């Protein structure tokens, strides 16, 4: 069973703080890593799909890095805003079965 771990489980920050959290995944048989943003009472929305070791992606104030050799990805949010409050999910795709395995998510709460 493939294990995808996200830490921390939850995070509370003040508006304006920058923050980051981690997704750990098996370093063997890597194919891709997805990041999704999931607001309460809505559906998950895609942020990034990352495939290459050393990859960096950016979307506004949110960016992500990828280290496939050691099996982790960081998601950074610069200058957090209350509207960034959501659960951030990562999902690992190996080159064997072709199915996404999701982590349990990091719940971010940004207080004004």
Partner 1 sequence: NAGVTQTPKFRVLKTGQSMTLLCAQDMNHEYMYWYRQDPGMGLRLIHYSVGEGTTAKGEVPDGYNVSRLKKQNFLLGLESAAPSQTSVYFCASSPAGPLSTQYFGPGTRLLVL
Binding positions for partner 1, rule: CB under 8 A:
4, 31-32, 34, 42-46, 49, 51, 89, 91, 93, 98-105
- CB-nearer residue toward partner 1: 77 or 92: 92
Phi, psi of 70 (to 5 degrees): -100, -5
**Between 4 and 11, whose beta carbon lies closer to partner 1?**
4
Least distance to partner 1, CB of residue 96, Å: 12
Q: Rounded CA gap, 62 and 52, in Å?
A: 18
- Residue 103 Cβ vs partner 1, minimum distance, rounded to whole Å: 5
Q: How far is CA 100 from the centre of its chain?
A: 14
Q: What's the rounded Cα separation, in Å, for the pair 66 and 55? A: 5
Q: Which is nearer to partner 1, 79 or 97 (CB)?
A: 97
* Token pair 């795709």: residue: 93
């Amino acid at each position: 069973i493939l294990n995808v771990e996200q830490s921390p489980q939850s995070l509370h920050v003040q508006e304006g703080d920058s923050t980051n959290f981690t997704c750990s995944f098996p370093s063997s048989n890597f194919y891709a890593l997805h990041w999704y943003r999931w607001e309460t009472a809505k559906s998950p929305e895609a942020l990034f799909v990352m495939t290459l070791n050393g990859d960096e992606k950016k979307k506004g104030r949110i960016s992500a890095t990828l280290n496939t050799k050691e099996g982790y990805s960081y998601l950074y949010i610069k200058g957090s805003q209350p509207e960034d409050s959501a659960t951030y999910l990562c999902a690992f795709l190996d080159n064997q079965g072709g199915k996404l395995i999701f982590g349990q998510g990091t719940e971010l709460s940004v207080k004004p």
